[in-house]
Amino acid sequence: MNRTRIKICGIRQPDHAHCAIDAGADYIGLNFIEGSPRQLQIPQARNLVAEICNASKTVQPVALFANQPLAFIQEVLDNADFPIIQLHGDEDRAFIESLDTVQIFKAVPFDLEKIDAWRNPPPNVAALLIDAPTRPGELTGGSGRSFDWDALANLDKTDLPPIILAGGLTPDNVAQAVTTTRPFAVDTSSGVESSRGIKDPTRIKAFCKAVHSANSD
C-alpha cells in the first residue's frame, strides 16, 4: 500500500517550515485566506517558498485560497513558485479549468452531494481534500473539528481524485485516522499549534512521527 503523505498547513515562520521538512512533511501550506490568523502577504510567502525550495527538492509548497478573485490568485502565482494551490471556497469546474498551469487540491466538506460533484474532475485536480463542515460565519478550514472517519472509509471513491483527510487531526489521533481511512494524505493546521495561528515544533514532529508509524503498521 502506498504511504499516506503529510501536509502541514498554515506555516508562517521559516523555522517552522524547516521543522516540518525535517520531520518528514510532503507539503507545506501557505495561507492567503482573508481573515485567517495564518494569512500571509505575498512578500512573506515568496520568502517562505524560497526557504522551502532551498531546503528540499521534494517538499512542495501549497497556496491556500477561498473564494478569491482569479486575478489575485494569478498575482500570487506570478510572484511565488507554487506548483499546487488549494481552493477552499465554492470554486466551480470552470474556475479550476482556467488555472490549468497548476495542480489543484479542491477542498470540500464531508457532504455526499458536494463530494459527488467532483467525480470525474478536471485533469488538474490532483486531490480532493475532505474537511469537517463549517458552521455559519466560520472561516473555512482550521476549525479543529473532525467528522465520521468510518463513513469516509466506506465512501464509494469511484471516479474521485485521491483523498486528503483534514479536520481535527492531531498527533494523538492521526494514526487512527490513517489506519481507518488510508487516505492519500493527511492535513493539519490547528492540530499542531500551541495557540491559534502559532505553530508548535514539538507537535509538528509528533504529528509526522505518528503518520510514519501508521504507515509502517
Those residues of the chain that have pLDDT short of 50 are none
- State the chain's mean pLDDT as an integer: 94
Across-strand partners of 62? Answer: 29, 84
pTM assigned to the model: 0.94
What's the confidence (pLDDT) of residue 131? Answer: 93
Q: From residue 158, give the alpha-carbon distance in Å to each of 65, 75, 108, 119.
A: 27, 35, 17, 7
What's the confidence (pLDDT) of residue 144? Answer: 63
What's the confidence (pLDDT) of residue 78? Answer: 97
What would the pLDDT profile of 170-216 be if each residue is shown by its tens digit? Answer: 999 999 999 999 999 999 999 999 999 999 999 999 999 999 999 99
Domains, the chain, ranges and CATH?
Answer: 5-216 (3.20.20.70)
* Run of H or E residues at 77: helix 70-79
Q: From residue 124, give the alpha-carbon distance in Å to each of 49, 173, 179.
A: 21, 31, 28
